[in-house]
Amino acid sequence: MTPQRYLLAQAYNNAWANHRLLKACGQLSAEEIAAPRTSFFPSIIHTLNHNLTVDWMYISGLEGDCIGAAAYEPEIPCPIFADLDREQRAADHRLIDHCRSMNDNGVSAEVRIPRDTYVEIERADLVLLHLFQHQIHHRGQIHAMLSGTSVKPPQLDEFFPSDPECVALRAQDFTELGFTEAMIWS
């Protein structure tokens, strides 16, 4: 598997995990999603917004025009879950589109991320790996917070096993997302 194909598969997996998590969170009332909880961020909606704003920053950098700290203003740009859901899904599609468009040069391209006192310069593949890990980390926190609600946390630890039973388990999600196995692996 080429680095580009690997990163594209990671982008699809990221979108799939976000889809499963957002479907679960969408079953919560506005009060439940905003309720104070124990985690790095104080609520599910706050943590979901953090993931979104970090996506905005890094995806804009990967696209060549990083918005930097502007991504974090306001801290919770989508306090209403429906808005958050729409924006996260759009960010997931931007990330997939970016990974699909990369060639070998794109994998090693320079990405410039403005910080408070300097501009961080990283390879695109390293930015992507960081972004995927960031998402996994905070999805895990949201997963744990869901355990304290009436909604069962979804399984998020799959990575597209080829076993026919695993393919069948993700078929409904893929239909909802408009994904096919061929989109990921071809």
Per-residue pLDDT of 21-63, as tens digits, reads 999 999 999 999 999 998 899 999 999 999 999 999 999 999 9
Which pLDDT score is estimated for 161?
Answer: 84
Which pLDDT score is estimated for 79?
Answer: 97
Q: What H or E segment, with its residue span, contains residue 8?
A: helix 3-25
CA of 71: how far to CAs of 41, 53, 75, 107, 115, in Å? 17, 5, 8, 24, 12
Q: For residues 90 and 76, is the Cβ–Cβ distance under 8 A? A: no
Instruction: Report the alpha-carbon distance of residue 41 to residue 39 in Å, rounded.
Output: 5
Would you list the domain boundaries of the chain?
Answer: 3-29+38-185
Q: What is the pTM of this model?
A: 0.95
**pLDDT tens figures, 121-171:** 999 999 999 999 999 999 999 999 999 999 999 999 888 888 898 889 899
User: CA torsion 81→70→132→37, rounded to 10°?
Assistant: -40
CA angle 116, 121, 125 (to 5 degrees): 125
Please choose, from the candidates 34, 8, 1, the residue with its C-alpha nearest in 3D space to the C-alpha of residue 132.
8
Residue range 99-118: average pLDDT? 94
Q: Residue 118 class from Cβ within 10 Å (0-12 exposed, 13-18 middle, 19+ buried)?
A: exposed
Number of H helices, E strands in the chain: 8, 2
Instruction: Report the alpha-carbon distance of residue 140 to residue 112 in Å, rounded.
Output: 28
Residue range 68-94: average pLDDT? 96
Give me the amino acid identity at 179: F
Confidence of residue 69 (pLDDT cuts 50, 70, 90): very high
User: What is the fold of 3-29+38-185?
Assistant: Four Helix Bundle (Hemerythrin (Met), subunit A) (1.20.120)
